[in-house]
Structure 1
């Protein structure tokens, strides 16, 4: 045991030192591009095409083609999501309470200096203008697929990803589909509270609004309404990805990174700033941990998880562990570079305020987020991982309170990778 703890401590220190290296905007773009239809893997491209085709079929419904008017009203079908089961449970998600907690968590946004807000705009302009066609196509699919879970398939690898889409459309994942979507705490109240204009509405901006030639295929420039901070789509992406990661811990790292990748798509489209995405990551992490620590929610979660895992094994024709295995270059979300990309999305290279670092204090129960992925570690060891692999202090939104500082700096991807290196 002493040897194992020593190895873990040494690995933690090395990981913490490595995180000090920032990834450039261009490097992040190139990494993200490997997870688009521009991937060099035919198997991954086939999965992306299957996911997009399934999304378009769901959006089309009984119509002859995908109509833009249907997008705002789109939702999972009764076959896909067992909403009757969830409604019968009578569970209270306490949305307003959680929305207020999110507003408080992000309150440091109002104290950011003008220089950081300027850097925020400059960064979205650069990412948006330098985006590849593959990134833009993936961003459009991510945007219009917000009401469904198809986007999670590419983080599962070609084999499990295909099984996931099949099981989802057969209605075999109904409880998980219903619970995950119901767990998304709307950012609407926060958007009204902070009342920040989207980047393409700022006077003198250079944002390129991307024509839709992927989902609706009417070449209408993609746009968005309402406030910018925080990002509603990113909140959805992170919440869905993190809950799925808790249900399929065999793909924990890939799914967590898919949440980050989903947020990046919002910047590619020029409808959100880095701070919008960063703030939603914080809120989504907090909300998922909050729910998983509620015994009543946990009972529903366990029931949904068990149904999902049985269904996926059935579709795979083998164990979930076997079906989830990495398949070389056909599995870009398992490329080590995605760890660097995740680290990049925690700060987007925005200015770091130098000075005395605030110590990381793990909120009670936050370690639940690593419980499924690292079942052999004690709660104390998981908390230690969170502290040792945290993002360096001083980046925007790390704020002044212990909770703000923790949720901004929590690096789940690094914590998971560090624990596995120590084995």
Structure 2
């Protein structure tokens, strides 16, 4: 069994703050995301999303109980699936769209989603900083993640945002698979809870954030142009009518 050394509770908020400062230093070194279609923090997601459940509240305790239940029941196959979904890539949706949906065949799709990921990150990060929510494994030592432990704040989930956003964009490209893509996006997000690194409310907020970001993207002419090119490539590779 994996054991964690937990810092004293009074230092946990400071630890998250220091992680945020470190992220700022990395940004200064050119390692942070850059805007493509949306100006950074242009959506003010902190005004769109509800606040997360307070630590120690009945809802927070219920979420931790659900996570512990999932921890007890997760199988090696579930762990492997969650580990694979750590990668925020549209090609994680190849299990819906088919083996031909890969980065070798679709460099334009890869480039589009790299830009989408950076834009989404720049919208999500201010909301994370606003609430500065502790990760579940920092709040409850009984939570034992099977995924790499992120250093950022927990709410909202960036992975959930990307998974749901990818499902929305891919569904617009391949509406024939919209229902299956939506379910795959939900599974992508759910794997963060199964893996022990996000609360259920984190991924629910990620889904809401994805809808807001998708709306803004599709209202952007530059995004629409890149999207249409990627859509045409995708449908051609998948053997679908234009």
TM-score range, shorter chain: 0.7 to 0.9
Equivalents in 2 of 1:297, 1:92: separation in Å?
6
Deviation of 1:193 after TM superposition, in Å, equals 1.1
| Structure with larger RCO (C-alpha < 8 A, sep 6+) | 2
What's the secondary structure of 1:162's corresponding residue? coil
Deviation of 1:162 after TM superposition, in Å, equals 1.1
Match of 1:188 among 113, 125, 133: 125
> What corresponds to 1:152 in structure 2?
93
> What corresponds to 2:172 in structure 1?
246
1:161-172 matched pairs, under 5 angstroms: 161-165=98-102, 168-169=103-104, 172=105
Distance verdict in 2 for CA 1:296–1:226, change over 3 Å: closer
Match of 2:111 among 155, 173, 178: 178
Deviation of 1:266 after TM superposition, in Å, equals 0.4
1:198 paired to 2:143: no
- Check whether the contact 1:200–1:271 (CA below 8 A) recurs between aligned residues: yes
Equivalents in 2 of 1:91, 1:182: separation in Å?
6
Distance verdict in 2 for CA 1:302–1:223, change over 3 Å: same
TM-score by length of 1: 0.45
> What corresponds to 2:38 in structure 1?
93
Distance verdict in 2 for CA 1:91–1:182, change over 3 Å: closer
> What corresponds to 1:130 in structure 2?
73
Deviation of 1:301 after TM superposition, in Å, equals 1.3
Equivalents in 1 of 2:83, 2:53: separation in Å?
30
- Check whether the contact 2:36–2:115 (CA below 8 A) recurs between aligned residues: no
- Check whether the contact 1:179–1:301 (CA below 8 A) recurs between aligned residues: yes
Distance verdict in 2 for CA 1:208–1:108, change over 3 Å: closer
Equivalents in 2 of 1:113, 1:223: separation in Å?
22
Deviation of 1:274 after TM superposition, in Å, equals 0.1
> What corresponds to 2:144 in structure 1?
208
Deviation of 1:252 after TM superposition, in Å, equals 0.8
Deviation of 1:297 after TM superposition, in Å, equals 2.3
What's the secondary structure of 1:97's corresponding residue? coil
Distance verdict in 2 for CA 1:153–1:192, change over 3 Å: same
Deviation of 1:121 after TM superposition, in Å, equals 1.6
1:302 paired to 2:228: yes
- Check whether the contact 1:155–1:255 (CA below 8 A) recurs between aligned residues: yes
Larger Rg: 1
